[in-house]
């Protein structure tokens, strides 16, 4: 399943955005009040883990998602440009598809950002593989060669000026 | 008060708390520091005191290493066309100091942030050279300083939150959102047209 099914603004906006309950309910709709099968798709219609989703859909109250990845307020980060240039979700968020409960897998410190901005080649992949979290080449050398080629071709020139993120 | 006539003088205030003379404000004025910050606890030796302060400093450092838990309340149904982080623009007209303003208001996450002139409004578009109206990069419509500042009025705490309707006498009544047409009609907002 593509990350962008739910985080649909990630390639358009600075925010990846938390999906509205409506998006969850497209697949995980609850049973109707009289126990009938739901009108929409019913993937795990009775799962306990989906209770907050169904509760939110019934009452109209927001689901309070716990924020895991959080940059300080003085950092500007734009998702869409990273996606457009071939930085995968997995590079910053880890294997979210394999996580039982999402945790922060990577540093997300300033040096960590700058390391990649100084030398992007090891982390650049073809744009159509950005949301494919399991994608990798056979060896580091291959990745480096492909990365260098893509950096060259697409004129990827990440800035390390302070004002790029601290604007 | 009334003897000195102070009641009728202009009152200046630095915050809403001061204007309303809330208990928090009263306390803030009478105490230099918040509660318990300025007292030296009785019955505690100097050595114990230093120990305690040292421990709280150290623990404070530990707590500072983690972000506090933050929750994101997502929409249940996201408004159509809304992309979080991308401004939406709404065209509107209002009257300001006797003149009409044709405004285009930038709105981000449901909050208006900037008032500008609406370059698509015929009143503006027709008065401009063609180069300006046809070239998207040059398209912009000027506004006055007052129009620019009018954005602040949208965040005025005393602003009427709901539509109002006035009868021929008495105070205008606020119409709560979600009222039916029938209820609004009964409040006397709309007159029957024969």
CB A89 within 8 A of CB A96: yes
CB A61 within 8 A of CB B76: yes
Q: Which residues pair with B96 in a beta bridge?
A: B99
pLDDT at A106 over 80: yes
Query: B130 to each of B123, B134, B148, how far by Cα in Å?
Result: 14, 6, 26
SS3 A153: helix
Substitution target from B64, B67, B76 for chain A, most A beta carbons within 10 A: B76
Q: If contacts are CB pairs under 8 Å, which of residues 109-138 in chain A contact chain B?
A: none
pLDDT band at B1 (very low <50, low <70, confident <90, very high): very low
- Contact assignment for A67 to B86 by CB distance below 8 Å: no
Alpha-carbon distance of B149 to B115, in angstroms, equals 8
- Among A83-97, A111-125, B14-28, B84-98, the minimum mean pLDDT is found in B14-28
Is A20 at the interface with chain B, CB within 8 A? yes
CB A81 within 8 A of CB A130: no
The whole-chain average pLDDT of chain B stands at 75
The whole-chain average pLDDT of chain A stands at 90
CB within 8 Å of B190: residues ≥ 6 apart: B165, B184
CB A36 within 8 A of CB A102: no
- Name which of B139, B79, B140 is nearest B114 in CA terms: B140
> Could you say which of A17, A67, A70 has the minimum Cβ distance to residue B84?
A17
Per-residue pLDDT at B3:
46
Mean pLDDT along residues B83-95: 89
- How many Cα atoms occupy the beta-carbon half-sphere of A151 within 13 Å? 17
Render A78-144 in DSSP notation, one character per residue: -HHHHHHHTB-HHHHH--GGG-SS----S---HHHHHHHHH--GGGB--GGGTT-TT---SSHHHHH
CB A113 within 8 A of CB A77: no
Alpha-carbon distance of B167 to B94, in angstroms, equals 23
CB within 8 Å of A151: residues ≥ 6 apart: A120, A121, A124
SS3 B107: strand
pLDDT at A81 over 80: yes
- Residue-wise pLDDT for B146-171, tens only, equals 999 999 988 888 877 777 766 656 66
All residues of chain B having their beta carbon less than 8 Å from the beta carbon of residue A62 are 73-76
- Residue-wise pLDDT for A19-65, tens only, equals 999 999 888 888 776 767 666 677 777 788 889 998 998 898 999 99
């Amino acid at each position: 399943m593509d990350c962008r099914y739910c985080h649909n603004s990630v390639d358009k906006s600075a925010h990846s955005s938390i999906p509205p309950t409506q998006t969850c309910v497209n697949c995980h709709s609850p049973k109707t009040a009289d126990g009938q099968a739901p009108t929409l798709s019913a993937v795990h219609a009775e799962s306990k883990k989906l209770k907050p989703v169904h509760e939110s859909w019934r009452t109209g109250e927001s689901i309070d998602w716990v924020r895991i990845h959080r940059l300080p307020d003085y950092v500007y980060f734009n998702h869409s440009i990273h996606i457009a240039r071939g930085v995968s979700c997995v590079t910053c968020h880890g294997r979210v598809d394999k996580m039982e409960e999402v945790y922060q897998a990577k540093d997300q410190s300033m040096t960590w950002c700058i390391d990649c901005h100084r030398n992007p080649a090891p982390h650049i992949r073809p744009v159509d593989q950005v949301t494919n979290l399991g994608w990798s080449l056979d060896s580091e050398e291959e990745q480096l060669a492909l990365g260098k080629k893509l950096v060259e071709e697409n004129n990827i020139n990440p800035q390390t000026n302070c004002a790029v993120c601290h604007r | 008060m009334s003897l000195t006539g102070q009641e009728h003088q202009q009152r200046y205030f630095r915050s809403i708390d001061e204007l309303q003379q809330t208990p928090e404000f009263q306390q803030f004025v009478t105490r230099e520091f918040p509660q318990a910050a300025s007292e030296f606890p009785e019955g505690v030796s100097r050595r114990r005191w230093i120990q305690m302060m040292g421990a709280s400093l150290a623990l404070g450092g530990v707590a500072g290493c983690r972000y506090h838990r933050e929750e994101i309340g997502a929409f249940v149904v996201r408004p159509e066309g809304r992309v979080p982080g991308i401004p939406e623009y709404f065209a509107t007209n209002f009257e300001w100091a006797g003149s009409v303003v044709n405004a285009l208001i930038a709105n981000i996450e449901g909050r208006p942030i900037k008032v500008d002139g609406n370059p698509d409004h015929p009143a503006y578009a027709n008065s401009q050279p063609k180069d300006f109206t046809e070239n998207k990069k040059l398209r912009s419509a000027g506004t006055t300083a007052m129009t620019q500042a009018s954005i602040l009025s949208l965040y005025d705490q005393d602003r009427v939150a709901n539509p109002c309707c006035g009868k021929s006498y008495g105070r205008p009544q606020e119409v709560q959102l979600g009222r039916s047409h029938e209820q609004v009609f009964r409040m006397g907002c709309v007159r029957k047209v024969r």
